[in-house]
Amino acid sequence: MSTLTFLGAVGEVTGSRYLIEVEGGDRTYRLLLECGLHQGGRQADAANAVPFGALAKQLDAVVLSHGHLDHAGLLPKLVREGYDGPIHCTRGTRDLLDIMLEDAAFIMAKDVEWENKRRQRSGRPLAEPLYALEDVERTLALCKSHGYGQPIELPGGVSLVFHDAGHILGSGIVELAVPSAGLTKRLVFSGDLGNPSSVLMKDPARLYDADVVLMESTYGDRDHRPLEETLEEFAQVLEEAHASGGNVLIPAFAVGRTQEILYHLSVLYHEGRLRQQMVFLDSPMAIKVTELYHRARKSLDAEDLKVLNIAASGDTSQYLPILRMTRTVEESMAINRIHGGAIIIAGAGMCTGGRIVHHFRYNLEKANTRLVIVGFQAAGTLGRQLVDGAERVRVLGQELEVRAKVHTIGGFSAHAGQSQLIGWAGAFRERPRLYLVHGEPQTQQALKSALAESGIEAFIPAYGERIEL
């Protein structure tokens, strides 16, 4: 009998990890589905530091749905601890991992360097990063990339197919055919399902046959606002910021959300509705990803690209003429001499570090600043504190009063909303066993109840729970 064990993204949105064990003859084959980083404060840091133990050398293969760090960010740690087998992913995911993991290792090294200065002063043992650049290089060398719809044979007689999840470049719905007790059981993992209203990505594929389904539930308690209303709200915030003379800060995830925001700013610019004269993309990683999206534009939604007249020629010279990409630290610091009239897009998306927190120091205490939150903020993050209305926050060791006006615009989400999740789950014939993952407890309960009203039974697994396939 083959089994699946829930090792992450249960009762939380991040830290995706599931172990599949297949009995085959005289041995057990072990496949790891996802290897994600936990995000959201000290508790997450502690979870990331837990060793993989014997599992790192017992695994026969790893399968990834997509390149976001909460799904793939611990891969180099797994390799550092002894894993040397194949890592299966889509082509777009492989390209993104090259950027994402290198950036993560660089940030970790900087954070540890800063932490060890403190530890040296107090005589405490020095810290080590979860992994280093050499671990990233070894990880990338293990990646095997595949196209959508292409069957891949895995150890233990398991078959894998990726389907387009419509979330970010290369994102996949994972379909696994797993031998179990003389039968073949079909396991489908949604990965992160895209929001059909989002630009650039194609709509998520719908699957119809499965025995077991793992479905994300990040926004399982609500639907997103219609895109037209969201764009009007966004345009109004930008107009108010212009009128007040302040800057607009947008903490944006480097993959997906940044490219979507740039798309909408470009449309507003060409419609003559963007009053600001400077847009800064202040994130080296987001710049690299944006350039990757341009190179991979054949994978994007052609209808959306037609709006910008770049689908065929690829000419982006007039995409957003006022956009300035700031790669160096010096260029980033220079932005803080601008006291108004700028839109500053910077990472990290949950405000847990990166260049956005430096811009907070110069802008968060100004009443004419507009802070626009366009993505999910995990519990325990600085972004979540700001969304929840914190009047004071601690940034880079400094206490700041939040005088800026905070706008949460959820309609830009790259995740499916409640109705879309129910529709995706309802497409399966024969009512497979459905497990909700990647969601906070209250959100999952809300989705479970909504699914029940549609005649779909769902289960909420616990950490370490093991099920038979």
Beta pairing class for 152-154 and 158-164: antiparallel
Question: What percentage of residues in the chain have a pLDDT greater than 90?
Answer: 77
At 372, give phi and psi (nearest 5°): -110, 115
Domain end residue (candidates: 412, 429, 459): 412
Domain end residue (candidates: 395, 412, 429): 412
Q: Which residues lie closer than 8 Å to 424 by C-beta, 6 or more apart?
A: 190, 193, 204, 206, 215, 416
Euclidean distance between CA atoms 234 and 225, whole angstroms = 12
Res 412: pLDDT: 84
- Find the domain containing 153 and state its range: 3-222+414-468
Are 234 and 372 contained in the same domain?
yes
Alpha helices in 32-87 (DSSP H): 42-49, 55-58, 69-72, 75-80
CATH number, residue 322: 3.40.50.10890
Specify the pTM.
0.89
Euclidean distance between CA atoms 411 and 426, whole angstroms = 23
Are 277 and 193 contained in the same domain?
no
Let me know: does 358 contact 396? Beta carbons within 8 Å. yes
Angle at 372 between CA 247 and CA 243, to 5 degrees: 40
Are 408 and 427 contained in the same domain?
no
- Tell me the average pLDDT across 321-345: 95
Are 178 and 284 contained in the same domain?
no
Are 399 and 455 contained in the same domain?
no
Segment 30-47, tens digit of pLDDT: 999 999 999 877 889 899
pLDDT for 308 beyond 90 = no
Are 209 and 279 contained in the same domain?
no
pLDDT for 314 beyond 70 = no
Sign of CA dihedral 343, 346, 349, 354: negative
Are 197 and 330 contained in the same domain?
no
Are 203 and 298 contained in the same domain?
no
Structure tokens at 389: 């209305």
Res 142: pLDDT: 98
Euclidean distance between CA atoms 402 and 310, whole angstroms = 40
Query: In DSSP terms, which residues pair with 118 in a beta bridge?
Result: none
At 344, give phi and psi (nearest 5°): -115, 110
* pLDDT band (50, 70, 90) for residue 313: very low
3-state SS record for 356-382: HHHHHHHHCCCCCCEEEECCCCCCCCH
Structure tokens at 335: 């932005």
* pLDDT band (50, 70, 90) for residue 384: very high
**Is the preceding omega at residue 235 within 30 degrees of 0, hence cis?**
no
Res 309: pLDDT: 54
* pLDDT band (50, 70, 90) for residue 257: confident
* pLDDT band (50, 70, 90) for residue 377: confident
Are 152 and 265 contained in the same domain?
no
Res 122: pLDDT: 86
- Tell me the average pLDDT across 97-114: 91
Domain end residue (candidates: 396, 412, 428): 412
Amino acid 51 reads P
Let me know: does 60 contact 85? Beta carbons within 8 Å. yes
Are 162 and 90 contained in the same domain?
yes
* pLDDT band (50, 70, 90) for residue 298: confident
User: What are the DSSP calls for 117-164, one per residue?
Assistant: HHHHHHTPPPP--S--HHHHHHHHHHEEEE-TT--EEEGGGEEEEEEE
Euclidean distance between CA atoms 162 and 205, whole angstroms = 10
Are 92 and 215 contained in the same domain?
yes
Q: Among residues 196, 167, 176, 194, which one has the least CA distance to residue 92?
A: 167
Structure tokens at 372: 């626009």
CA atoms within 13 A on the CB side of 165: 33
Res 254: pLDDT: 87
Least confident of 91-100, 162-171, 302-311: 302-311
- Tell me the average pLDDT across 294-323: 71
- Tell me the average pLDDT across 183-188: 97
Are 165 and 238 contained in the same domain?
no
How many structural domains are present in the chain?
2
Euclidean distance between CA atoms 7 and 463, whole angstroms = 6
- Tell me the average pLDDT across 124-131: 92
Res 312: pLDDT: 41
* pLDDT band (50, 70, 90) for residue 311: very low
pLDDT for 434 beyond 80 = yes
User: What are the DSSP calls for 170-214, one per residue?
Assistant: T-EEEEEEEEETTEEEEEEE--SPP-TTSSSSPPPP-----SEEE
- Compare 34 and 379 and report the one with higher pLDDT: 34
Euclidean distance between CA atoms 356 and 426, whole angstroms = 40
Question: What rounded mean pLDDT belongs to the chain?
Answer: 93
CATH number, residue 454: 3.60.15.10
Res 191: pLDDT: 97
State which of 105-119, 243-257, 420-434 shows the largest mean pLDDT: 420-434
